[in-house]
Amino acid sequence: MIYLDNAATTLRKPPQVIDAVARAMGSFGNSARGTHEGALTASRTIYDTRCKLAALFGCPRPDHVAFTANSTEALNIAIHGLVRAGDHVLSTDLEHNSVLRPLYRLRDERGVALDFVPADRQGRIDYADLERLLRPETRAIVCTHASNLTGDAVDLARVGELAHAHGVLLVVDASQSAGVLPIDMERMHIDVLCFTGHKSLMGPQGTGGLCLRGDPDILPWKVGGTGVQTFSERQPEQLPVRLEAGTLNGHGIAGLDAALDFIAATGMEAIRAHETALMRRFYEGVRDIPGVTVYGDFTHERTAVVALNIADLDSGEVADALAEDYGIATRSGAHCAPRLHRALGTEGQGAVRFSFGWYNTEEETDAAIRAVEELAR
């Protein structure tokens, strides 16, 4: 199989990630639930991973890195924990349902007002719309760093400057960018960064988290056991346990720890350059094929994603043909991004997404180009 669905999850992981999970499965106790060697080994690895993530994302304090099962959980914690009844929230048409559905729930249950910066037919937003839509009661801007459909990146430094100037919180969905695009929470004025471990960070599924800059007044989304302050009737106030009720996925976090070491040793810039070169090679090879429509803006910063359609063929039919006839794995359909599909005019057809990763090759890329060409004919 030629695996070109890395925006959903990286299928191939560095070998040391698999080894780390296997070792942890045989040695980890429950972090913060004992003082024996098994529990302490788990706690040390988890803390080491917090430190590496804080350094990667420019988060000032490792104890402000809280682990979750994925970015969906992290976004729910951030959005439900920060936004109050009567607040106003700004977002964009680029968002994944992991942002949209929590916001719609707060609109319906707490009367939170919402506005979305519109995207044009290429999936671009106008940053002037952000300032135009701000209100005195705006509590937060919640936005993605990079679209999971088109790969187009948002200028977080620009959004952060605006949020900072108006005293508005900035919550970022870094699901598609963590591990491949540079992120500096301090410089970009990001208050909460939500990430997942199984995509460009190349860690196991079931890992993710959120990083907090400063100490925003974020209420716990879930409460329960933490291993500390057992006799308190309320969730402990201090971070990260305020946001980490229940047993952490220590085995998965051990794999994420090893993945972070691999990224540091290989160089995020080298990984990004390789993936970008493959994405550009594919884009240049398919963009002029008769009947092929490519979506997104390829003149600005982006991830290694190319979304396209072939004539009026249903995207699911194209993805099935790619898989069954050519052994190429892609992602078709709506990609949990309904507002962007409406903006692109692909609500009915969907799109076929090709997403490139560190372990893909030029030969695989060329095979995908040939497959698209043959299907278009």
pLDDT of residue 220: 92
What gap in Å lies between CA 172 and CA 112, rounded to an integer?
19
Express each pLDDT in 246-277 by its tens digit: 999 999 999 999 999 999 999 999 999 999 99
- pTM more than 0.85: yes
pLDDT of residue 148: 98
What gap in Å lies between CA 38 and CA 30, rounded to an integer?
7
pLDDT of residue 35: 83
Pick out the chain residues at pLDDT < 50.
none
